[in-house]
Structure 1
Amino acid sequence: MANQGIPEISGIRTRITVFLLHRLFALTRGMTMGVRAACFDEAGRIFLVRHTYVPGWYMPGGGVERGETVSAALAKELREEGNLDIVGEPELYHVYQNAKASRRDHVVFYKVTVRQVAPRSPDREIAESGFFALDALPPDVTAATLARIREISGQQPKADHW
């Protein structure tokens, strides 16, 4: 993993989209919180998604809605973004501040073993998805995704910022 990855929030279209979404979230949520997971299959491959509205490959995840638990949000996002079922107990890895999105945003990050119940077809949100060996990641993986993979694999210490 010599690649440094691409920035998660770059380019005018992405910056405007994130700005507008977080202004909406500021009206509907006091603090924004999301879940994201490093999802590994039985072969040790990691599951990544490429969204239609931002560049790069990410680990699956999404926002925690009002009245929703973090664990429920995690299970929901993995089902929605990858047709993934969690095998065993998710391992809470760390909680990060995501100041690149907003000073109020936090990401609860898990390491999980998953089983894909059906292939994930592209739609308006997810352009592509799949499992990848850690030494054969797709091009344009985001810098934050690479940092989290390096942290989980022990190649670098945990950071506090996403």
Structure 2
Amino acid sequence: MDQDRPQEARNWLWPLARLAHVYFAVSRGMTLGVRAACFDPDGRVFLVRHSYLPGWHFPGGGVDRRETAFEGLVRELKEEGNLELTGPPLLVQVFYNPGTSKRDHVVFFRCDDVRQVRPKVADLEIAAAGFFALGDLPPDTTPATRRRLAELAGTMKPDVLW
């Protein structure tokens, strides 16, 4: 992967992302997103690196109008990782995410039964994606991602803030 691409894309995509958040705040009142810790049979977790944000994150995104959180999850996993659920996801927590906006909430799932139908190729939104062993996460994995993994492992008390 071209390591310079995420910074270049971030320079012009970040204002668009902020504009989208402002639009959603006005048009929706409250914003709702989904994210998921997706594990393969080897216990590796799937992470994505966006072109417009620093660090590695769980796959996910905004829930669209007239879409359930589950439907949004299925769509986002397909879009961001070519992932399909082969079993039901487990609802872990609904987090308040004041870092994005004062109205944002994240529905967080654990997916132990996923399969990747084909490797994810970098595109305009996703600069890189892949499965990582829990003991070998990328150094720039976000603090929120690391906290959620520690909560799932039972080594950290669950929080209500993303």
Task: State the TM-score, normalizing by the size of structure 1.
Answer: 0.88
Q: Which runs of 5+ in 1 are unaligned?
A: 1-10
Three-state SS of the structure 2 residue aligned to 1:85 is strand
Runs of 4+ in structure 1 deviating by more than 2 angstroms, as ranges, are 11-21
Q: Deviations over 1:96-145 (max 9, x none)?
A: 00001111000000000211010000000000000000000012000100
Kindly indicate whether structure 1 or structure 2 has the higher relative contact order, using CA contacts under 8 Å at least 6 residues apart.
Answer: 1
Matched with 1:24 is 23
Three-state SS of the structure 2 residue aligned to 1:135 is helix
Three-state SS of the structure 2 residue aligned to 1:34 is strand
Q: How many angstroms apart in 1 are the aligned matches of 2:11 and 2:71?
A: 33
> Number of residues paired by the alignment?
152
Q: How many angstroms apart in 2 are the aligned matches of 1:53 and 1:135?
A: 26
Task: State the TM-score, normalizing by the size of structure 2.
Answer: 0.88
- Cα 1:12–1:98 change in 2 (3 A) is farther
- Cα 1:125–1:144 change in 2 (3 A) is same
Is 1:76 the equivalent of 2:95?
A: no
Identical-residue share of aligned pairs (%): 53
Q: Counterpart of 2:39 in structure 1: which amino acid?
A: F
Asked whether the 8 Å contact 2:95–2:105 carries over to 1, the reply is yes
